[in-house]
Amino acid sequence: MRYLIAFILLIASCQAKTIVVDSGGSGDATSLASAITMASSGDTILIKPGNYSGAIVDRSLIINGSGQAQLDGSLIIIAPGCKITNLATKSIGRDPAIVLQSSDNLLVRCRADGASIGIRATGDDNTVLDCNVDAPRGTCMELLGKRCKVLNSTFLGNVGIKLNGTIQNTIAGCEILAAQGVLMDLSIKNRIEKNSFYGSGFGVVLSRSSSNQILENNISGTYISGIDVVDSKENNITGNFISGGKLGISLRGSQGNNVTENVCQKGERAGIYGDGAVYNYLSYNELSENGNGILLSGSIENGLKSNSASRNIYGISLRGSKGNVLRDNVMFANSYNLRVDEGASSSAHLAASSHDFYVQDIDESNLVDGRPVCYLINEADLVAPSVCGFLGIISCKNITASNLRISNSSAGILAVNSTDWKIVDSGISLSENGIYLKDCSAWTVKGCRAANCQIGYAASSSSDGTFKDDLASNCSEEGFRADDSLNLSLENCSAKSCAKGINLMRSRLCNVWNSRADQNQEAGIQLTSSDRCSLIGNIASLNDQGIALAGSNECVLTNNRAEANQRDGISLVQLLNCELQDNDAIGNAQGIFVQSSKKLLIKGNNMSENSRNGLYMSGAVGCNVTDNRLQSNRIAGANLVDCTANFLYHNLFLDNAAQDAVDNNQNQWDAGPNDGGNYWSDHKVVGNPGDVPMQIPTKGVDRYPFQDPGGWL
């Protein structure tokens, strides 16, 4: 039987013939369609140079293009087992240049130019080898059949290759120069291997696809994402080299994917990005010079093992994510090695509490700049190792850490939902937040130094804690910042050469005592919407503003010194029932500035030697200004603009340059004949008080000025 089959095949081969197509008439046919009509299955058609119309191949043939043979119109193959070589096809209109409608066909060294589609392959087991496909405004190839191979070919167009609803295809060794490289939808067990991609949209996209292999591809250009995995699962993405663009590899709403041994570099946002990614495994990837080496957002229970993240802005970022497991990852030479935070509000639905976003399984096998990550969760009564390169205290109680030296971290020390903890004698530098605490109570940070951070010390929604003897220097935003906090104390702290020194926002019952704020670009000490706070014994010098309060009611400022600030020594805006007593506002542009405030007590302050006014009030109502010293100010001792029902008496106006005071006649400058008014160095009277009125420049009058400074005592 075996010999009979061989004999039959030999007879068939002897019967096969070659048909020559020549547009000049010297062959067997002048068109491909005519040659196909003349041929039988197994015959060969040789096409001479020239331009010919498209054709339908309805029998199994070998078609060889010779020289410059080109079809102007579609080549549609509906018979199985055809071999097409060295043929150029150019479609007309929106039809594909080549259609592989049947199975087991071989397309070799062909060129397909399509206005809309280059090649459409709907049949199974077809092979495209060493071809060039050009569809500058459309799709180079639509691959809808199963088990097809696309090898060593070049694709130039808007979209390289689309796979839809297909299985077990291979695309290997190709050069794909397209805005969108390979787009795969509802497809499984395909293999994309050792291709080169260059474009500006997406390199490889897996949408609703599973169990595919994306291996050892080279992807560069300005892609939004080199490899984009969307609503897909259990794909293997290994050994790819991706450079440039916004994202290297992105996992969006995808689960169970294996991302291993990839090199992702120079991604604007991230080397590997997960958004809603669940149960993925990321291992042995090299991530460098990206915005983030690995960025997980709204992602749950992914495994990160033995990844290397270096020279990125952020090494590994876990934002609005929870339950991720980190082992043996190495982060070094990043601007900020490790970041764990709540991320965007869009992740809120993933957790019952924002604290859940800090619950990550990170052990000391992870290294930042050669030192272990110490990430404590639900621990109590521990002393943290001093060798930590990052310290996390999450839902802990009674944790102590000392002598830490941490740099280049998103938060060098991160404390969340923890109580009774203490950080002492530690130094943090070059971090976003030197020490960041959220929802903590009964804590102490003492004797620490935060240098060259964005924010030295930050407290959010925390209470009953103390910063004591701490220093913040050269911080690009704030030295100390508190948001939405209660009953915090800053004692003997210093903020120097920061954008803002000490900044409290929406924080109540806080104390800033015996602290310094020097040479800060904006305010030395600033309170915004922070009621019932006390500022006592502080020094604010050489800042833009010394001490500034806005919308902070019932605060007390006592024995502070605001000196040599570029604008206001003390600025009070939109306040109610605040007290300023025994403060020095000396040598500033303006001593004390009051705007749109009511019922302030301004008593016993020294507002002298300022380059403008000692006291400037605008839109102030019902304030009591008494026992103050306003001396040697270059414009005026006191300047009241659009003020009403303020009460100014027992003040010293001494040697102010241009004039002693300005008023609109809506305020009272004395307390009647018994208690009298103020002392004016340029207005001589007899008696304490006297009875010769002092006319205030513009309007207003002090009816009972004093003969002697302090004559009311």
Q: Which two tokens stand for residue 531?
A: 């009621």
What would the mean pLDDT of 215-238 be, rounded to a whole number? 97
Examine the pLDDT at 14 and tell me if it is beyond 70. no
Instruction: Output the pLDDT for position 438.
Output: 97
**Could you read off the pLDDT of 490-545 as tens digits, one per residue?**
999 999 999 999 999 999 999 999 999 999 999 999 999 999 999 999 999 999 99
Burial of 297 by CB count in 10 Å (0-12 exposed, 13-18 middle, 19+ buried)? buried
Instruction: Output the pLDDT for position 352.
Output: 85
For the whole model, what pTM was predicted? 0.91
HSE, side-chain direction, 13 A CA sphere, residue 221: 22
- Count of other CB atoms within 10 angstroms of residue 217: 28
Q: How confident is the model at residue 203 (pLDDT cuts 50, 70, 90)?
A: very high
What would the mean pLDDT of 356-379 be, rounded to a whole number? 97
Instruction: Give the CA radius of gyration of the chain.
Output: 39
**Residues of the chain with pLDDT > 70: what percent?**
98
The DSSP H or E segment spanning 6 is helix 2-15
Q: What are phi and psi of 222, to 5 degrees?
A: -120, 40
The DSSP H or E segment spanning 304 is strand 303-305
DSSP-assigned beta bridge partners for residue 483: 460, 505
Please report the sign of the dihedral spanned by the C-alpha atoms of residue 87, residue 92, residue 96, residue 100: negative
Instruction: Output the pLDDT for position 11.
Output: 41
In angstroms, the CA 254 to CA 277 distance is: 5
Q: How confident is the model at residue 94 (pLDDT cuts 50, 70, 90)?
A: confident
Q: What are phi and psi of 11, to 5 degrees?
A: -65, -45
Instruction: Output the pLDDT for position 431.
Output: 98
**Could you read off the pLDDT of 458-474 as tens digits, one per residue?**
999 999 999 999 999 99
Instruction: Output the pLDDT for position 660.
Output: 66
**Torsion-angle region of 58 (φ positive above 0: left; ψ -120 to 50: alpha; else: beta):** alpha
CA-angle at 693, arms to 688 and 699, nearest 5°: 135
* Spatial CB neighbours of 674, under 8 Å, sequence gap ≥ 6: none
Instruction: Output the pLDDT for position 183.
Output: 98
Residue type, 450: A
Examine the pLDDT at 4 and tell me if it is beyond 90. no
Contact 70, 46 (CB under 8 A): no
**How far is C-alpha 61 from the chain's CA centre?**
59
3-state secondary structure 471-505: EEECCCCEEEEEECCECCEEECCEEECCCEEEEEE
Q: What are phi and psi of 578, to 5 degrees?
A: -100, 160
DSSP-assigned beta bridge partners for residue 207: 185, 230
User: For the chain, what is the mean pLDDT?
Assistant: 95
**Strand 303-305 relative to strand 568-573, pairing:** unpaired
DSSP-assigned beta bridge partners for residue 55: 75
**Could you read off the pLDDT of 416-460 as tens digits, one per residue?**
999 999 999 999 999 999 999 999 999 999 999 999 999 999 999
The DSSP H or E segment spanning 659 is strand 659-662
**Could you read off the pLDDT of 27-50 as tens digits, one per residue?**
999 999 999 999 999 999 999 999
Examine the pLDDT at 390 and tell me if it is beyond 70. yes
The DSSP code sequence of 134-178 is EEEEEEEEEE-SSS-EEES-EEEEEEEEEEES-BS-EEES-EEEE
In angstroms, the CA 28 to CA 527 distance is: 95
Nearest to 149 by CA among 197, 104, 112, 209: 104
What are the boundaries of each domain within the chain? Answer: 522-713
Q: How confident is the model at residue 66 (pLDDT cuts 50, 70, 90)?
A: confident
Nearest to 133 by CA among 87, 83, 102: 87
Examine the pLDDT at 415 and tell me if it is beyond 80. yes
DSSP, res 442: S
DSSP, res 416: E
- Count of other CB atoms within 10 angstroms of residue 19: 22
Examine the pLDDT at 266 and tell me if it is beyond 60. yes
In angstroms, the CA 265 to CA 193 distance is: 19
Number of H helices, E strands in the chain: 3, 82
Q: Domain 522-713 classified CATH 2.160.20.10?
A: yes
What would the mean pLDDT of 604-621 be, rounded to a whole number? 97
Nearest to 529 by CA among 549, 500, 547, 509: 549
Burial of 188 by CB count in 10 Å (0-12 exposed, 13-18 middle, 19+ buried)? middle
Instruction: Output the pLDDT for position 10.
Output: 41
**Could you read off the pLDDT of 240-251 as tens digits, one per residue?**
999 999 999 999
**Could you read off the pLDDT of 677-687 as tens digits, one per residue?**
999 999 999 99
**How far is C-alpha 468 from the chain's CA centre?**
32
Instruction: Output the pLDDT for position 698.
Output: 81
Instruction: Output the pLDDT for position 659.
Output: 63
Contact 289, 265 (CB under 8 A): yes
Examine the pLDDT at 346 and tell me if it is beyond 80. no
Residue type, 453: C
Examine the pLDDT at 1 and tell me if it is beyond 60. no
**Strand 449-451 relative to strand 427-429, pairing:** parallel
* Spatial CB neighbours of 74, under 8 Å, sequence gap ≥ 6: 54, 89, 91, 92, 95, 96, 97, 98, 99
In angstroms, the CA 495 to CA 601 distance is: 28
What would the mean pLDDT of 576-587 be, rounded to a whole number? 98
